[in-house]
Structure 1
Amino acid sequence: MRERGEAALAAGVAADSPAAGPVVAELVAAWLPTQAGTADPPERDDARARRRLLEQLEAAAEPHIERYWQLMCAATGRPQPPRWDAAGAWTAAALRAHPEPGPGVVLPPAPDAQRALYVYERVAAHVTALVDAVPEEALERPTPCDGWTVRQLIDHMTWENLMITSIARDAPRADQDADHLGADHAAAFRESVAGLLAAFTGSGMLTRTYGPYEAPGALFAQQAAVELLAHGWDLARALGAPTGLAPEVADEVLAAARGIYGAAPRTEGGSFAPERPAPEGAGGADRLAAYLGR
C-alpha cells in the first residue's frame, strides 16, 4: 500500500482529484484482506471500509502511537515498520476526498495536440515574463496559496514542468519537496518551460498515452496550461500585477479546467476551494481563479 501511495504522490496525482479515485480503490482492495479476523471485518470496498481504513491511518499517524511501535520493535528485535510520512498523508487525504467508491476514471476527451501545445506556449510566455520580473526582495512575500511564499509558488510551478517532462521520459520524479530553483529563480523556471516544450515536441508525448487508463499525452499539455495559468494568477496577485494573463487563450484554459476538474470534490485542505463568483466582466484568467476557489 505504501508503495502505491508513494507512486501516486510521485506522479503528481492530487489526492482530491478524479485521478486519485482508482488509486484509492487499489489501496482499499490491498488493505481488505488484512482485516480478516478483526471485529466485524469489512468485506468489500464501501463507505464503511473506507472510514475504518482512514481511522487506522489517522491513529497510526499519532506520534505517541508511532513511538510505541518503534519501542516495541526495538524491544523484540523485529524490523521497524515502514513510515508512511508523505504517502500516508496523501492516502488519508484521498480517503477523505473519496469516502465511497466512485464510477471509476472518466477521462476528458483528448484535446487537439497542436492546439494544446499552442495554448501552453502562450500561457508559459505570459507567466515567464511575470517570473522574470520578480525581484529578489519579493520572494518572501505571501501568496493566495495558503502558506506559500512567492519563491515557493515559483518552485511549485517549476516542479510541475519538471514532473511532466519526467513523465515524457518514462521516469516520473519523486522530488516534489526539493529545491528546484537554486540561486536564480527566473533561470530555473525558464529552463523548466524549455524542457517541457522540448518534451512535448521531441519525445512524441503529445501522441502517446500513459498509465493504465491510457491518458492521452496531449491532456498533460492541457493540464500544464491550467496549472500554470492558475498559479500565474496567484503570482500576479502576490506581486500586485495585472491578473489578466494570456487573454488570447485564457477562455480555452478555463474550459479545459472544467473538463479536467469538474468532478473533483472541493474538500477542506484540498487543491482548491469551492467555486466563487467571478467579478462582472472578468477575463478568462480571473474566471479561472474564481472557478478554482481563489
Structure 2
Amino acid sequence: MNTDPRPLYARAAEQIAALIRTVRPEQLAGPTPCGEFDVRTLLSHMAGGTRRIAVVGAGGDGLAVRPFVDGVPDDGWVAAYDEVRAEVEQSWADDARLDALVHVPWGEAPGRIALSGYVMEAVTHTWDLSEALGRPLGLDPELAEFALAIAHRVLPDEQRGDDVPFDSAAPAPEGADAYERLAAWLGRRSLSRA
C-alpha cells in the first residue's frame, strides 16, 4: 500500500469535527452502537484516539497514550477535538513519517499503514456518533469505502478474539451503504435496527 493516508485522515477529521458541532448537551448521555459507550464516552475516546495517533506521528509509542481524554466540559468537545486533530496534522507533516516504523497498539508498522488504520477507526467512530445523534449530516462515502477496504485487509471475518476491539462480522442490511457495510464488518448494529 503506497497511498498517502494523510488527506483521507484530514477529511475524516473534518467530518468528525462537523459532526461534533451538532451535538446537543441532552445527547451526551445517550446510547451509541458501542454498547459500553454513551455519546460523552465516545467523544472522549475519539479525542483520545486522535491524540494517540498524533503521538505516534511524532515518533512516540501509541501504547503510552490512554485512548480517552478526561476533564472536558460538556461544552468543550468541539475545542478538545480541534486541538488534537491539529496535533495530528503537525505530527504527520513530514513525508518521512509515512515510511518510518511507528509503534501502535497492535504492533510496529510503517507510518502509512498505521495512519490508514486510524482512518478506519475514525470513520467507524464517525458512523457510531452519527447513529447516536440521529444522522444529522450526510457522510462522505469515499472515506467509508477506504475504511472498509482497510478493515477487510486487517480483520478476519471469522470469530475475533478478546484482543480485537471489534465484534465478529455481521451481515449488512439489504441495500446497505458503505458506512453500514463497514459497521457490519466490524460487528456493529444500528441503534434503529438493534
The two structures have a TM-score, normalised by structure 2, of 0.82
Structure 2 Cα separation of the partners of residues 226 and 180 of structure 1: 26
Contact 1:111 1:222 in 2 (8 A): no
Which deviates more from structure 2 when the two are superposed, residues 249-258 or residues 151-160?
249-258
1:134 is aligned, of 23, 36, 51, to 23
1:162 aligns with 2:51: yes
Give the total of aligned pairs: 183
Cα pair distance change 1:269/1:209, threshold 3 Å: closer
Q: Which structure is higher in helix share?
A: 1
Structure 2 Cα separation of the partners of residues 207 and 274 of structure 1: 31
Structure 2: gaps spanning 5 or more residues: 189-194
Structure 1 Cα separation of the partners of residues 108 and 175 of structure 2: 38
1:174 aligns with 2:102: no
1:231 aligns with 2:125: yes
Note the alpha carbon deviations across 1:3-22, whole angstroms, 9 max, x for none: xxxxxxxxxxxxxxxxxxxx
Structure 1: gaps spanning 5 or more residues: 1-109
Residue number in structure 2 paired with 1:186: 78
Residue number in structure 1 paired with 2:34: 145
Compute the displacement of 1:276 (Å).
1.3
The two structures have a TM-score, normalised by structure 1, of 0.56
Task: After TM superposition, list the pairs within 5 Å mapping 1:1-294 onto structure 2.
Answer: 110-113=1-4, 116-172=5-61, 173-176=64-67, 178-179=69-70, 181-182=72-73, 184-202=76-94, 204-211=96-103, 215-241=109-135, 245-262=139-156, 265-267=159-161, 271-294=165-188
Structure 2 Cα separation of the partners of residues 178 and 242 of structure 1: 24
CA radius of gyration, larger in: 1
Contact 1:205 1:217 in 2 (8 A): yes
Contact 1:130 1:236 in 2 (8 A): yes
Query: In structure 1, what residue type is equivalent to 2:128?
Result: D
Note the alpha carbon deviations across 1:65-123, whole angstroms, 9 max, x for none: xxxxxxxxxxxxxxxxxxxxxxxxxxxxxxxxxxxxxxxxxxxxx4412xx12221222
Percent identity of equivalent pairs: 33
Cα pair distance change 1:178/1:264, threshold 3 Å: farther
Q: CA RMSD in A?
A: 2.6
Tell me the secondary structure at the aligned position of residue 170 of structure 1. coil
Query: In structure 1, what residue type is equivalent to 2:52?
Result: M
